[in-house]
Structure 1
Amino acid sequence: MVKEEDGREGRVVLHLDFDCFYAQVFIQTDPKALADKPVGVTQKYLVITCNYVARRRGVKKLTPITEALRVCPDLILFNGENLRPFREANARVETLLKAPETWKSVTRSPRGTPPPVEKLALDEFFIDISDAVRLRAITENSLLLFEGHVVGEPSSSDDETLLGGRKRRWGDVLISHMREKKRRRDETAAGGGESDGEGPPPDESDSEDEEGPYLGYDMDPHLLGPLGLPVPEWPPTSYETPPHPSNALGTIRRHKIASIIAKEIRDRIHTRLGLTCCGGVGPNKPVSKMVAGLHKPNMQTTILPSAVRDFLAPLPLRKLPGIGGTYEKTLTEGGITTLGQLASRSVGDLVRLLGSVKVATVLKERATDGGNEPVQEGGPPKSLSCEDSLRDGEVTTPEQALRVLSALVAELSQRLSDDYAEHHRLPTNVVLSWRLRGMGYSGRHSRAAPLPLYGIPLPPSPAAIGSAIEQEAKKLLDQHIVAPAAKPTAADEPVWTGQSAVEGRGGAVFHLTLLNVGVSAWRDAGSASNGRTPTLSEFLRRQADGGKERGPGERSRAAAEEKQPRFGFGQSKQDFRREVQECK
């Protein structure tokens, strides 16, 4: 069972994975006409994704366009090379998930606040709904059903909770409190006296049904009143201190409520934005992500904490986040092929295989029960880039490479302009990455260079910032790709093309299969003066001042000092020399 930092059990994580996200975005441009039609999204010569109507007709992801049209002649294709529509749809989803109204609605409480939302990709999100579950539990009755599919068999003790040292069924807690309040009112009326409603719990041996007025969670009078329930006087000062709310819910009840919240959030997204998604509810991020993909499309799955280990044990290594091709190969050579085998190995054995204590510890923990990594709000991206995958032979000359580079820079500069409007920052590095024929799908080279954005008016226009990026990116292209390829070779000798040899043709030849241009190393643009980025002289002066910008008074004094002779106030070079001679 995954525990929170202070040892309490109760974290619940929701993972949302949108169905054929790119295709859905295009379908929303004309939902009535496209809802039941096969729709595919293309990049270059491939159908990179398609909706489920097309998949039922035999179209698969990453299929050549000609093959997809042969299988499904009425397939409707959209060009997906411009990612801007998908980023805008992602922003709308993120705005809805972080809206206070969303969480006031699903928690049924005015105290509902947006929980941590972590964006994993354009079509995936993690949400920590633990607090939302606790708030929603206040108004939910004990007769709840799971929404969607469930992994795991509940035990008889899962729906019980330890309250004040006594084991009770959660569904009886609120009822017993109301019964006690009624009993006291009846006794007061019969005896003609008054009661302040406080006192110790009744003797439990008197009745098996009445267990005492103990709630064990924060009561919200704003919600109980409209439901027609009497508002209890809470907390009763003479009773024991109530446990933390995370312990006041049984495991099964907590996950039932979590599945209900997940369903309502998915319905809200579909109603407001027209998008469908799958949901996974689990005790941590890796497990909730895994179960979200068990039933598609537009379905959800909840896994009980007691079933996590049995669920993970038979899965192959690559199913676990953090295990890629390199680690998989290393572990397989060590006789480990499943997550169960990985979890059973000692940290020492894994360190000898992987060479890192940190990596071995994290992977063992994740393979055991998914780990305990919290959901974290993501800040602005650390880098922005645009990329183009190229067919073999599509780019073999510098002119063709420059055309591709210019198109990528134009897209990147527009994204930078939007990023500046949101985050008010500018990059200081430009990065060029490329892949050549023969390097494999995952192989690539990268080179970076400083990005001098001196004197650009703020806010930066796409044209101004694009010009600076393209100038530096062209230098990197010429230096690391074009120049090596231009070295003369014999017709039968391989050509050295940017650290990769390909079949020579006796001239300047290179075969690019991927080109990427990006920016990184951000700085706050709030320090720029006069509505523009600093000039080169201002930048150097600021570096000499320790990176601090001078205020108006400091700038005027510095300018006056710079106009003074270097050899003393009112002195010329000749006066200074004369004074030196006299001193001798």
Structure 2
Amino acid sequence: STHACTIPYLRSNPLQDYDCFYASVFEVEQPALKLLPLAVQQKQIVVTCNYEARRRGLRKLQLIKEAKQVCPDVVIVLGEDLSRFRDASKDLSLFLRAFIWGDRVEKLGVDELFMDVTEMVSYNVDLLNPNDLEHSFFHLDRREPTAGFAFDATQIHGPTYPPGPSKTDLMCAQPQVAQLYRRLLLASHLAGYLRGQLEDQKGYTATVGVSTSKLLAKVVGTVHKPNSQTTLLPPYETAPNFEQSNVLRFLDSRGIRAIPGIGSKLSQKLTAYLESTTGTAGADGKLTDIGSRIWGLLHGVDNHAEIREARDLPTQISIENSYGRLDSFEAARKAMLSIAASLIRRMRADLTENHHETEDRPTDAAAEPTVRWLARPRTLRLSTNPRPSPGSSDGTHRISHSASLPQYVFNLDESVEGLAQRLVHECVTPLFRKLHQGRSGWNLRVLNLAVTNMVEVAGSRKHNSGQDIGRMFHRQSEPGEPVSVIGSRSLPQTHPAPADPAWEESGEDEEDMPVVSCVLCGAQIPHFARAAHELYHSTSGPSTGISSDPSRVLYA
């Protein structure tokens, strides 16, 4: 049977992927590390390393012992506490969102962003002067004509797939192809500009894929790494009047597992099926929904993946720890204190902002910022995962209990530790007693403390997120401001805890990243670290300790 292949020509979607993000966070904190081989450790495994370390023979998922043998000079830093990575990710995403019209920026984990720049590209395409393309100007703000950067609109910025095309051929091709090429060309220059701003002002490098869908941008972004970008050139169409679809040519050159949305098991099944049916003629069959979806992914079609509008505030915040053995109330209370303190810190980081009062203040008065809450959660939830009895197959069942979150938690003048002790004594311990009676007789694998039911109290940043681009350019001469580069560059009740769905491709963000439960120790492992955790068990045996907070462009 046949299946129509529809590519959204006029959308402009890049994927921005920060290079070696975990290692880069440490490098930005300590710039001297950029010149040294750096490895990030979780348990006894190298979860990631910088490119200098890779150049010297290190790789992901190596044992720390082996890494030291291969490279005695390696600098090893602990990366089990994900707080610094989430903070850096939040800062970078807000920085980049300031440039994108309509807040069309979607995070994928902590180190990837999808950006829909269709509106920006459409506006700037209409302003191109066909008689002087070499001296074009990309406008970043409709209201501020000087906010933007100069660029050469006669050529794509950065590498392309396929490489080295004739720009004249594409500019003079069929109108549909020429139109798409111009849009991708402008998107490539915007991608290059954003990469430059990210490096100059924040110290991070990134790799970008430029195409018309999230799927294509994500896959093409892997071609040139690190600190580079790749634009997937037209034609995208599969109709007979075009020579060949670059989408199909590109995807045919990749393995099935490289396609986002197709996991390892499905990849193996598809490969086995194709091998078993090669050279045979099959009868027409009914195409199921999942079959249609897979067919589309393999042909570069991802019509259901619109980039969602960026969200300023989380729907919930949770802190979780896993344990090899937690079977006494004193140990549980100590664990709850640690988790409660981490939760309050996270609330202050994610739900507050520095607010500059400008009304009723003399113009020469010092701009002393005050910290204010953007949202206040109403509900506190405690979830546990009891270790199953021997012979039981249910090792993932969670139970939880909820109560109202007390208002004193929002007192910013109180210390985190003091608030955590009071919260555990007055709220968390009663919740725990309702889940597990007695001071012993149970053994827990996981403790999770969460706040939910967010209520905005200080106004949403939805319509003024990040910085206003025009204002940012005007302030560049003010002391203390980073200099931008302009140029080419209810009633409590006990119930099962809900499970949050997540993409297989998500990164490491606590809310968005998928986790899996280890069948050996019960730890909730971030998807990206599953292989490392399995390797840890294979070399060190079952875990018996506490893991520290194992929480979790399309571009044109």
Q: Partner amino acid for 1:286?
A: L
Give identity over the alignment, percent.
28
SS of the residue corresponding to residue 28 of structure 1 reads helix
CA contact (8 A) 1:429 1:521 kept: no
1:426 shift after superposition: 0.7
Please give the alpha-carbon distance, in whole angstroms, between the structure 2 residues aligned to 1:94 and 1:477. Answer: 37
CA contact (8 A) 1:413 1:466 kept: no
In structure 1, runs of 5+ residues without a counterpart are 104-112, 168-246, 352-356, 487-507, 528-538, 541-584
1:153 shift after superposition: 8.4
Q: CA RMSD, aligned part only?
A: 4.2
Moved more, 289-298 or 413-422: 413-422
SS of the residue corresponding to residue 371 of structure 1 reads coil
Please give the alpha-carbon distance, in whole angstroms, between the structure 2 residues aligned to 1:473 and 1:249. Answer: 62
Answering whether residue 12 of structure 2 is matched by residue 12 of structure 1, we say yes
Q: Partner amino acid for 1:426?
A: P
1:23 shift after superposition: 1.2
Residue deviations 1:111-166 (CA, integer Å, cap 9, x gap):
xx46611111211111112233344441534631441242378698743477xxxx
Structure 2 partner of 1:151: 162
Answering whether residue 105 of structure 2 is matched by residue 125 of structure 1, we say no
CA contact (8 A) 1:40 1:54 kept: yes
1:287 shift after superposition: 1.4
Please give the alpha-carbon distance, in whole angstroms, between the structure 2 residues aligned to 1:448 and 1:324. Answer: 31
Q: Partner amino acid for 2:10?
A: G
Which protein is richer in helix relative to its size?
A: 1
CA contact (8 A) 1:126 1:375 kept: yes
Please give the alpha-carbon distance, in whole angstroms, between the structure 1 residues aligned to 2:425 and 2:47. Answer: 29
Structure 2 partner of 1:30: 30
Moved more, 477-486 or 455-464: 477-486
Structure 2 partner of 1:453: 405
| Aligned CA distance change for structure 1 residues 37 and 153 (closer, same or farther; 3 Å) | closer
1:476 shift after superposition: 6.2
Structure 1 partner of 2:548: none
In structure 2, runs of 5+ residues without a counterpart are 135-152, 237-244, 354-373, 460-489, 492-556
Q: Partner amino acid for 1:25?
A: V
Structure 1 partner of 2:247: 308
Structure 1 partner of 2:451: 519
Structure 1 partner of 2:208: 279
CA contact (8 A) 2:328 2:439 kept: no
Please give the alpha-carbon distance, in whole angstroms, between the structure 2 residues aligned to 1:433 and 1:479. Answer: 12
Structure 2 partner of 1:375: 307
CA contact (8 A) 1:419 1:425 kept: no
Please give the alpha-carbon distance, in whole angstroms, between the structure 2 residues aligned to 1:130 and 1:54. Answer: 38
| Aligned CA distance change for structure 1 residues 400 and 464 (closer, same or farther; 3 Å) | closer
CA contact (8 A) 2:12 2:118 kept: yes
1:444 shift after superposition: 3.5
Q: Partner amino acid for 1:335?
A: Y
Structure 2 partner of 1:188: none
Answering whether residue 208 of structure 2 is matched by residue 270 of structure 1, we say no
Structure 1 partner of 2:273: 335
Residue deviations 1:10-32 (CA, integer Å, cap 9, x gap):
2121111111112111111231x
Answering whether residue 319 of structure 2 is matched by residue 319 of structure 1, we say no
| TM-score, normalising length: structure 1 | 0.57
Structure 1 partner of 2:471: none
Q: Partner amino acid for 2:397?
A: H
Alignment of 1:31-430 (within 5 A): 31=31, 33-100=32-99, 113=101, 116-137=104-125, 138=128, 140-141=133-134, 143-151=154-162, 158-160=170-172, 250-304=179-233, 305=236, 306-313=245-252, 315-324=254-263, 332=270, 335=273, 348-349=286-287, 351=288, 357=289, 359-372=290-303, 373-379=305-311, 380-388=313-321, 393=324, 399-422=330-353, 423-430=374-381
CA contact (8 A) 1:428 1:523 kept: no
| Aligned CA distance change for structure 1 residues 420 and 266 (closer, same or farther; 3 Å) | closer
1:377 shift after superposition: 1.8
Please give the alpha-carbon distance, in whole angstroms, between the structure 2 residues aligned to 1:48 and 1:291. Answer: 24
1:313 shift after superposition: 4.3
Q: Partner amino acid for 1:517?
A: L
Please give the alpha-carbon distance, in whole angstroms, between the structure 2 residues aligned to 1:297 and 1:11. Answer: 25
| Aligned CA distance change for structure 1 residues 420 and 88 (closer, same or farther; 3 Å) | closer
1:38 shift after superposition: 1.2
Q: Partner amino acid for 1:48?
A: V
| TM-score, normalising length: structure 2 | 0.59
Q: Partner amino acid for 2:383?
A: L
